[in-house]
Amino acid sequence: MDVMELGYDQEKDKLLHEIDQLKIENEKLKSELSTTKEISKYLNESEQRFEQLFNNISDAVYYLKIDKEGVSGNFIEVNKIAYKRLGYTREEMLNMSPFDIDYHEREELIQILESIMSTETLIFETMHVCKDGTLIPVEIKTHNVVMDGETFTLSVCRDISERKQAERVIRDTKKQYQRLVESSTNGIAVLQDDKWVFANEAALKLFGAHTKDQLLGKSIYDMLYPEFIEKYKILTKFGGKHARLNSTWKNLDGREIHTEIVSIPIIFRDRVAKQLIIQDVTERKQAEDLMIQAEKMNVVGQLAAGIAHEIRNPLTSLKGFVQLFRSGTVPNDKFLNIMESELERIDVISSEFLTLAKPYNVDFSPVDIQELLKNVIALLGTEASKQRISIDTSFLNETIIVDGVNAELKKVFINLIKNAIEVMPDGGTIKIIVENSEEAVDISIQDHGIGMTDEQLRRLGEPFFTTKETGTGLGLMVTYKIIDHHHGEMKVKSKLNEGTTFTVRLPVIT
């Protein structure tokens, strides 16, 4: 191989090597170009996602720069909610600054902006001014971001109009409630751990307190009569929509007062409490006592007048015989028999009046006894509900007819069921059972009250004897008399602390 050929081969090899290098560099450039495109695509996609998030977020977002003196330039960027909420276009907003939309005076706003600059994150409330001049309450949360050595501020503004409206409603409602409580003629008080922690003016006056300090902090048991303490505890423990307690107190002035209490569980100063609505019924109680006394005196007067009228004739006869004997006439068997007869007559008359003799309607007619009972239960249903008492019935499927006076029989069962309600102050169930008994019908009224002793059972039906705190005992006398007038009978079974059952037996029409 000559020199010329050798040189050619070397040049060729060198050229091929350079071509290979170019290929490698070309592949590298292709790879770098592909990566750049992917990065560019990723950046574009990220920018699109950010823009969607920025414009679709429910809060207004402002991007701006604040200098060290607290002076802000125009907004760098705002989202769609920001400019639409205030009634501007995006272009208009980008030519505006916080000074154009905040209702604070310039110096006040500069202080706020200085606080934003000195704090990484700040939350505060302000008012933004819309293009039409209306104000929108907003809550702003700011966050400072450092980029290329410069600090920018991102502000997220939430419209709190509904929250402010709700707060106003709550404040107004609270004020109205406070005015209602303070102007109420009933005493309204709050207790925690059975101590007074709040009392309105009516409550202070009712309990004889001239200042709140005289009552607040003291135990309720200092004034409540001991016999009502257990009932009060039951009332406040179980409560209920219609739960009420009639109670007696000795107030700070030493005066005895009668009240009706309703207890409502509440939260007071972040703690469980009891709100008492206390109605002063002292005058009503005194009036009721006077009415009861007047009723008793009226009955006594009627009895006395009746006795005086009916025994006047036999007394006149006896007086005549006495005068006759004083004149010298010797008593004989005939005179003595007459006198004895007159004395017996006086005794019979007295006995009749003691059983509350009373004329009755003798016009009997057929009465559907189960329908009558349903009417009485409907009549007394509200009263029973107030005492948390339910009335259970067990009636016969057939129609039961008795011969009697509807109004008088109705009075019998009103008296018996009312008595059952009144002996169950803590609520419970009254059972009314109708059963066949040969040619008669038995109607039983069963309560779960305190029951009666044998002595009390024995005295039932006596004039003016009653087991209730308020009553004359005449109702049961009338009941016995009506049942007797209808050729029926009434039996009573009772066990102390378990309850009483009255069973009325009436003949049926077959």
Q: Any idea where the domains of the chain sit in the sequence?
A: 1-56, 58-164, 184-280, 285-354, 365-507
- The token duo for 166 is 């709700």
What angle, rounded to 10 degrees, do the helices at 282-326 and 333-354 form? 170
The HSE-up count of residue 58 (CA atoms within 13 Å, CB side) is 3
Q: How far apart are alpha carbons 420 and 389 in whole angstroms?
A: 10
Query: What's the pLDDT at 49?
Result: 57
DSSP state of 155: E
Cα distance between residue 250 and residue 247, in whole Å: 10
Q: Give start and end residues of each alpha helix (H) in 124-193.
A: 161-183
Per DSSP, the three-state class of 367 is strand
Question: With contact defined as beta carbons under 8 Å apart, do 187 and 203 qualify?
Answer: yes
- What is the rounded distance in angstroms from the CA atom of residue 362 to the CA atom of residue 404? 8
Domain 184-280, second-level architecture? 2-Layer Sandwich (3.30)
Residue-wise burial string across 246-278, b where 16 or more C-beta atoms lie within 10 A, e elsewhere: ebebeebeeeebbbbbbbbeeeeeeeebbbbbb
What SS3 class is residue 146?
strand
Query: For 239, left (φ over 0), alpha (ψ -120 to 50), or beta?
Result: left
CATH topology of domain 285-354: Helix Hairpins (1.10.287)
Q: Do domains 58-164 and 184-280 have the same CATH topology?
A: yes
Beta bridge partners of 263: 276
Compute the residue count for the chain: 510
Is 149 within 8 Å of 165 (Cβ atoms)?
no
Which CA distances in Å does 46 have to 43, 54, 57? 5, 12, 16
CA distance 157 to 176: 33
**Strand 428-437 relative to strand 389-394: parallel, antiparallel, unpaired?**
parallel
What's the pTM? 0.40
Beta bridge partners of 112: none
- Is the C-alpha dihedral spanning 457, 459, 462, 468 positive or negative? negative
Torsion angle, alpha carbons of 406, 412, 416, 419, to 10: 110
- Architecture per CATH, domain 365-507, reads as 2-Layer Sandwich (3.30)
Give the pLDDT of residue 43. Answer: 47
pLDDT digits (tens, 9 = 90+) for 102-123: 999 988 998 888 888 888 889 9
Enumerate residue ranges in the chain where pLDDT < 50.
1, 3-4, 8, 42-43, 242, 355, 464, 470-472
CATH class of 58-164: alpha beta
State how far the Cα of 171 lies from the Cα of 481, in Å rounded to an integer: 64
What is the distance between the alpha carbons of residues 180 and 217, in angstroms, rounded to a whole number?
A: 23
Do residues 268 and 198 lie in contact, with contact meaning Cβ atoms separated by under 8 Å?
yes
CB 114 within 8 A of CB 104: no
Angle at 488 between CA 484 and CA 492, to 5 degrees: 90
- Other CB atoms within a 10 A radius of the CB of residue 170 amount to 10
Q: What local confidence, expressed as pLDDT, does residue 413 receive?
A: 93
